[in-house]
Amino acid sequence: MKKGLLSFILCTMFGIGTAACAEPQCMDAAFPAAVRPAKAGAGQSSTVQNPADWRLVLVNAAHPVGDFTPPELITLRNGVRVDARIYPDLQQMFDDMRAEGLSPIAGEGFRTFDEQCEMMCGRIREYRRKGYSRTESESMARAYVAEPGTSEHQLGLAVDINSENGDHQSVYEWLAARAHEYGFILRYPQGGESVTGYAYEPWHYRYVGREAAQEITGSGMTLEEYLGADD
């Protein structure tokens, strides 16, 4: 078992093992469903090991990726990592945005399984500090943070894009209008919550390749709908 995951389990179950376990603790119950590692089971499938097209791998609650690492990662200048195969299109998109006076930055890229565990745990702790119950905190956290094993960030194909100078809205508007030209789609669009399972995130873009991105964006579909996996 990986050291990070072992520490996380100790933290979650017993409140010991890492500095992150300082009060308030991660949870007040042993390894709750909200932070339980996702594995393919009945009614679930995982296509990440042998996808027909690596750009169109679907990862969500029904299609877990497990503890996956892309074949090759590249590190951006701010330390964020992405799948090396998406880098040329990502760099071209950022260059073109900068040429138009914007200051895009990739705030999040590839995350390991353990890092996803820590993120979920941290969001739950945040809500608990605000006085919400355990159940409320888990539910609220799930709206914005994927359970470990079900996050697109574990593919290295998803990037959270914001602005270095704080002008986030201008960046979001540019991306909404142009990102598909570079192979990226708005993964969690407004109005798609019942299909994707996540709240609207104007910063979260997923690489699917230029052809698929134009088809998905032009049709207004989510990735689930495009792949016929929205049932």
Question: Rounded to the nearest 5 degrees, what angle is found at the Cα of 119, between the Cα atoms of 117 and 123?
Answer: 120
Cβ burial, residue 159 (10 Å; 0-12/13-18/19+): buried
Give the catalytic positions in this structure.
201
- Lookup: tokens for 206: 């997923």
Rg (C-alpha) for the chain, rounded Å, is: 18
- Tokens coding 128: 């608990």
Is residue 154 within 8 A of residue 113, CB to CB? The reply is yes
Contact at 8 Å (CB) between 127 and 136?
yes
Residue 102 in tokens: 């914007």
From CA 59, how far away is CA 61, in angstroms rounded? 7
3-state helix, strand, coil in the chain (%, to 5): 45, 10, 45
Question: Helix or strand or coil: residue 204?
Answer: strand
